[in-house]
């Protein structure tokens, strides 16, 4: 029986190897440390880029991003759990045979949640500020 590869393994492995070589110059020397760091930095940068682009479009910013945020926060965990229920041995094998990939996924997931939480908090603060200003403008003296 062959070992199953994680989803998008070839793409992720190629990107990780290139980033590891470019940033650390020691490919494969410390993969368990580099994978979560690179996964986190990459995911955080992509998430912040998505937010920056979306701020120019009210529909995307106010309607699409809240759905995107829920998918980012809960999607990976639900996918891991679903895979574990559907194919427990396959999931176990991937985690045991691909620890670097697993560490990178965890770093990536954590950074995605941090980026989403930061943006949600910004939006809440912005809404509170606007509501406060509207209250001052609308209140009779």
Is residue 49 in a domain? yes
**What confidence category does residue 86 fall into, taking pLDDT thresholds of 50, 70 and 90?**
very high
pLDDT at 47 over 70: yes
Total domains present in the chain: 1
Q: Could you give the CA distance from residue 5 to residue 2 in angstroms, rounded to a whole number?
A: 9
Instruction: Please give the average per-residue pLDDT across 66-72, as a whole number.
Output: 87
Whether 11 is covered by a domain: the verdict is no
Between 7 and 123, the more confident residue is 123
The boundaries of the domain holding residue 79 are: 31-138
Please indicate, yes or no, if residue 50 is contained in any of the structural domains: yes
Q: Is residue 22 part of a domain?
A: no
Selection from 30-34, 68-72, 111-115 with the highest mean pLDDT: 111-115
Asked whether residue 16 is assigned to any structural domain, the reply reads no
Neighbours of 51 (CB within 10 A): 19
Mean pLDDT within 106-128: 90
Structural domain contains residue 14: no
């Amino acid at each position: 029986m062959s070992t199953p590869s994680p989803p998008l393994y070839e793409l992720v492995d190629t990107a990780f190897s290139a980033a590891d070589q470019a940033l650390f110059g020691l490919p494969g020397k410390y993969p368990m440390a580099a994978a979560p760091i690179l996964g986190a930095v990459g995911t955080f940068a992509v998430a912040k880029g998505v937010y920056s682009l979306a701020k120019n479009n009210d529909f995307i910013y106010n309607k699409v991003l809240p759905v995107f945020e829920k998918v980012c926060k809960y999607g990976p965990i639900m996918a891991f759990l679903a895979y574990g229920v559907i194919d427990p041995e396959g999931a176990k094998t991937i985690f045991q045979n691909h620890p670097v990939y697993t560490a990178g996924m965890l770093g990536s997931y954590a950074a995605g949640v941090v980026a989403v939480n930061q943006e949600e908090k910004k939006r809440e603060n912005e809404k509170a500020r606007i509501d406060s200003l509207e209250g001052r403008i609308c209140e009779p003296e």
